[in-house]
Every structure is written in structure tokens, then in C-alpha cells.
Amino acid sequence: MSDRQDLLGRHVLLGLTGGVACYKAAELTRELTRAGATVQVVMTEAALQFITPVTMQALSGRPVFTSQWDARPANSMAHIELSREADAIVVAPASADFIAQLAQGRAGELLALACLARPAERVPLFVAPAMNREMWAHPATQRNVAQVAADGAVVLGPASGAQACGETGDGRMLEAVELRDALVAHFQPKVLAGRRVLITAGPTFEAIDPVRGITNHSSGKMGFAVARAAAEAGAEVTLVAGPVHLPTPLGVRRLDVCSAQQMHDAVLPLAPTHDVFVATAAVADWRPSQFNEQKIKKDGKKVAPSFELAENPDILAAVARLPAQARPWCVGFAAESHDLVRHAREKLERKGVPLIVGNLGPATFGRDDNTLLLVDAAGERELPHGDKLSLARDLVREIASRITRFPT
């Protein structure tokens, strides 16, 4: 999904302030241009100490601006021209000093001038802090960040982790792909604004003994794509994930579980507080009825061990059976190996839900693309083959159109 053109036609003014994280701004420039955006770089005097304008010009394909006295614009007002042509301004990295300037309305350099002069009603300002953990925690910085947010800027991060100074804690700038995804999300239609969406994703793992278990090939990619698409659409998203190794979509609350019972126990208390439940997880239907505390050994025996199976709880059916006032609008997934339409329709009727999304599991598990079939009481409709994020966005729009009759 790294070559998606989600920002095609967008023009981003990317501001760099002083900080080691300027190296991430180089990567961010590349990510934005790969996503289809044009990028105009503006650097403060301090940023010039960490990375050169030559590097940023090579990556953006445009001359870099560093001075408010730059005479290239016809009216010699670079701060006006640059801010008017932008679809968004992103300051990454944003130093503690620069955030203080924004909070106080000071404009002693071109970048601060452009932020102050931007038409706020149509040009959003994104600020990605990057600084030492003590600087970030200082009350003055926290006051300034709060003021910047109150004035309409979107503060992205910071993250926690190892810092250039050798310390560890809050203050790291978000990674380039996270900042790119935040910008992409901003431009997505907010069709689920005000809604709360609960999603399950991935496989479950049913332990046989401490080292073996029953699972399936689900990668979780479709469920994570739906979670991202729902968050992009303005929803408050909770993702209950089985054992997968995928990054959490920006802005999504994630709960990790392992077994079907754990997923059931996580979902049921949450369901009544959500407007929509999307069950994308490939939950194991069966589990060993008894867990072996120690690894089952071969010991030279030729006969394979046998064990009884017990049925796992049906999470989707349990949510669909909740009282009307506590029941979210339910969407089920049917990952089949054959006879997709018949099995999906049987699942629709058996679970008692308004929509089932069918796909051929063996053909899509682990892949980045898919084909989805929407099955409801009125019939079937296929969503054209595409990458999973595009399909997830189509599905989110479909869900939003179907629940408009329900109040938030």
C-alpha cells in the first residue's frame, strides 16, 4: 500500500524546525510525494544546522524557502504566497521553541509567518513535536501545546522511545508513514463522524499444550484496514485483535487477545457502547476441550495423540442477540472456500445480522488485495477487486449509508 496515490492533487507545505528528527522529514517528503502530493519545503535557520536545503530540494523537486525576505514571489510576500497555495501545512519536526512561537503568535521567521498567515478555514496546520523528554514534559511546553491545539492546530504525537540524547521517553517525532497516514485521513470524508465502531480482526489461537495450538491463515490485514478506514471516516474505533503482527492504525484503540473465548470476553462488554460492530476476525469454531499443561511428547510412539474438541462461543451471534437498545448495527464476515453466495446467505440468516461480507479465504489470506461480496436480505452485490484499504473504505461508506436512519 506504500505506492497508493491517496494525496494526488494535494499540495503540502512542509516546515522543518531545528532538531535531529529532520532526517525523518526527508523520509516524510518522499512518502508524501509517493502518495501523489506536491511538497514545498520551508526551513527555519535552526533546521539548516541539521539537514541541507539541497537534500530537501532533491527529494521534493522544488526549491526550498528559508527566508521571509526571499524575492522569488512576484509580490515578495513568500509567507502569503506559500500559505495560499497549500492544502495543508505540516511542521515536522516541531521544536519546543517553534511551538512556543505558535502559541504566542510570534512570527520572526518565514515558517512561523506562513503558519500565522494561513487561511485557517481551509488550510489545516499539523504539528509533529520532536524534543527531549524533559523538554516535552516541562509545564511551559505543555501549556504551549495545549494553546496551539486550542487555536486549531492538530498535534500529532509525540511517540515514546529512544532519543538522540541517549535518554528514553516521550518526545520522539512520529514516523514518516504515521504522519503521512494522518494527512491522508484528514482528507477522507467523515461519513462516520460521531459514531463508535467496534471491530475484530485476525485469527484466534486455541492452545493444545504450551507450544501447539489450532489456528488459521488469517493475517488480520482486512480487519486492520477496516479499522483504519473507520477512523479516517471520523469514527471512534476499538479494534480487538487476535495474534497478528500488524501496526495499529493511527487513532485506533487496540486490545490484543489470543483465543476465541478471550475475544468473546473482550467484545461482549464493549458492544453495547458502540454503534457498529464489524466482525472480520476468523474465529476458530472449535478448541481442545482440555488443555495439556505440558508438551505432548512423541516418546517414540507411532500413534498420534487424540483429544476432544469443544465448540467456541459465537461472538457475532452473541452480539446480534443483545437487547435492541444495547445492540450495535452488526456486520459479519464469511471467509469461505467454496459456494460463497450460498454459505454467506446461510450465515446472514443464521446470525440474524443485516449484512454479511463474503470472500474466498484461501484466495485472500495474507494478501494485500481482495474481492468482497455484500450479502443482505435484498440480494448480493460485489465490490470490485482492489487493495484491502480501498475495499475497506468502500465498506465503511456502505455501512455509513445504511445506518443513517439510526441516531448517533
**174 labelled binding-site residue:** no
- For the record, the C-alpha cell of 299 comes out as 516418546
∠239-241-244 over CA atoms, to 5°? 135
Write the burial class of residue 194 (CB in 10 Å: 0-12 exposed, 13-18 middle, 19+ buried): exposed
For residues 389 and 291, what is the distance between their CA atoms, to the nearest angstrom? Answer: 38
- For the record, the C-alpha cell of 230 comes out as 473507520
How many CB atoms are located within 10 Å of the residue 401 CB? 10
Q: Active site residue: 22, 115, 165, 330, which one? A: 165
Kind plus residue range of the DSSP H or E element containing 92 = strand 88-94
**Strand pairing category for 213-214 and 206-207:** antiparallel
**295 labelled binding-site residue:** yes
For residues 278 and 201, what is the distance between their CA atoms, to the nearest angstrom? Answer: 9
Comparing CA positions, the residue from 87, 75, 172 lying closest to residue 122 is: 87
Helical H segments across 278-365, by residue range: 315-320, 340-351, 361-364
258 is catalytic: no
**285 labelled binding-site residue:** yes
For residues 198 and 279, what is the distance between their CA atoms, to the nearest angstrom? Answer: 8
**256 labelled binding-site residue:** no
**388 labelled binding-site residue:** no
Q: Which residues of 352-374 are buried (b: 16+ CB within 10 A; e: fewer)?
A: ebbbbbbbbbeebbeeeebbbbb
First vs last Cα of the chain: how many Å apart? 32
Find out whether the peptide bond into 139 is cis, omega within 30 degrees of 0. no
**347 labelled binding-site residue:** yes
User: Which residues are known to be catalytic?
Assistant: 165
**Residues of each annotated binding site for CTP:** 285, 295, 313-316, 333, 347, 351
